[in-house]
Amino acid sequence: MKIESGQNEMSFSRPKEDTLLVRLAGDWRIGGRFPSADDVQKQIDSGPRIQRVVFSTDGLTDWGSGLLTFLIKVIHQCRQEKIIVEKTGLPEGAVKLIKLASAVPVKKTSQRGEISEPFLSRIGRNAIALTHSVAEGLDFIGEAIVALMRLLKGKARFRRSDFTLTIQQCGVQALPIVSLISLLVGLILAFVGAVQLMMFGAQIYVASLVGIAMVRVMGAIMTGIIMAGRTGAAFAAQLGTMQVNEEIDALKTLGISPMEFLVLPRMLALTLMMPLLCLYADLMGILGGLIVGVGMLDLSAVEYFNQTKASVTLNHFWIGLFHSAVFGVLVALAGCLRGLQCGRSASAVGDAATSAVVTGIVSIIVATAIITIICNVLGV
């Protein structure tokens, strides 16, 4: 059977009972009229069952994207019928282009009827991913310790201006949000405590409640969470953008360690600023409690101050500072780790920032639990 369409020609024959030979001739460049792929489907449906489709292009004078479009449709139809398509008779260039087009992965969709991944398979895949994530985290911590040792030996290379700028971003520029959150936390603690203590006429102990809670742990925790959402995400976004722009690869090519040049100044700056921010948060939290004590409980500022001074000890003070220093290291490491793990797309930068915040907050909570247990065992 022969089909002609303008300068194009297509004919069919059956060299074997289960084989369909498609002969293509003429000019198959874009702009002309081509035979339809449905004609091939009609030949497949007629007669005995076709198991194989082969092509002959000896009479082909020229071809372009029109031939490729026709062939891709035919191959797709044959694939649905589970028919083997042999491409040996096609032009070499056309075979390469078809292979390249079919190599693009099909986007997965959650359509009904699609077979989902087995439950045990998902558990295994997530367990393997978790193992790799833990290994990468430990490797990153080890590299950070090595960079710190090189700093102590005077061999670490980073710009002092970057360190100063990071201190400013982590310290002074964070004061407004730390002030607001800490003041409100102090107000909330004092109000909740006052509701209960007023039942026993022990309003004065609101000062003890707020003072101990803020100085020992709450000031450090709130500051750590604020810095995780503010500075940790900023670190991840900065390093993630550098990863996307291949700036980190350029540093490695120049023989400069990204751990020393990028991570070390950020980690040092946040570790130094966190205890200072924690002290400031403690003062703002106590001030919030003072507002409730004076305005709601009819306590004088002197009474409140004296009760706070009698309740808060140096042990509470040092424990709070230790919390804050640990949180500073954890938030900096989480932000830098997620930034360096960022992919090569714009959306990956947002994912890295989100992951840095989540990792930082989870690390803060876990570290708080561990330090609290240790302090309880030691009796401090």
Enumerate residues 6+ apart whose C-beta is below 8 A from 266: 166, 235, 332, 335, 336
Burial class (CB in 10 A: 0-12, 13-18, 19+), 114: exposed
Q: Per DSSP, what are the bridge partners of residue 56?
A: 23
Can you give the residue range of the structural domain that contains 163? 159-378
253 plus 342 within the same structural domain: yes
Dig out the tokens for 43 from the structure. 């030949």
Please report the sign of the dihedral spanned by the C-alpha atoms of residue 291, residue 295, residue 296, residue 299: positive
Enumerate residues 6+ apart whose C-beta is below 8 A from 79: 85
Question: Does any domain span residue 238?
Answer: yes
166 plus 94 within the same structural domain: no
Question: What is the Cα–Cα distance from 349 to 354, expressed in whole angstroms?
Answer: 9
Q: Which residues of the chain have pLDDT under 50?
A: 106, 109-113
Question: Does any domain span residue 201?
Answer: yes
217 plus 89 within the same structural domain: no
239 plus 306 within the same structural domain: yes
pLDDT, tens digit (0-9, with 9 covering 90-100), for 153-205? 888 888 888 889 999 988 889 999 999 999 999 999 999 998 888 888 888 99
98 plus 215 within the same structural domain: no
Question: Does any domain span residue 365?
Answer: yes
Instruction: Give me the pLDDT at residue 322, please.
Output: 94
Question: Does any domain span residue 111?
Answer: no
Dig out the tokens for 261 from the structure. 């040049």
Chain-centre distance of CA 9, in angstroms? 55
Question: Does any domain span residue 77?
Answer: yes
Question: Does any domain span residue 42?
Answer: yes
Question: What is the Cα–Cα distance from 60 to 89, expressed in whole angstroms?
Answer: 11
Instruction: Give me the pLDDT at residue 115, please.
Output: 56
Question: What is the Cα–Cα distance from 166 to 336, expressed in whole angstroms?
Answer: 13
Question: Does any domain span residue 33?
Answer: yes
Q: Show which of 86, 102, 118 is a domain's final residue.
A: 102
In the chain, the number of structural domains is: 2
Cβ atoms < 10 Å from Cβ of 109 = 6
96 plus 216 within the same structural domain: no
Strand order in the sheet with 84-85: 2-5, 8-16, 19-28, 52-63, 84-85
Q: Show which of 67, 85, 102 is a domain's final residue.
A: 102
211 plus 344 within the same structural domain: yes
96 plus 215 within the same structural domain: no
177 plus 92 within the same structural domain: no
Question: What is the Cα–Cα distance from 86 to 53, expressed in whole angstroms?
Answer: 6
Instruction: Give me the pLDDT at residue 239, please.
Output: 93
Q: Give the CATH number of the domain where residue 60 resides.
A: 3.30.750.24
67 plus 210 within the same structural domain: no
Question: Does any domain span residue 358?
Answer: yes
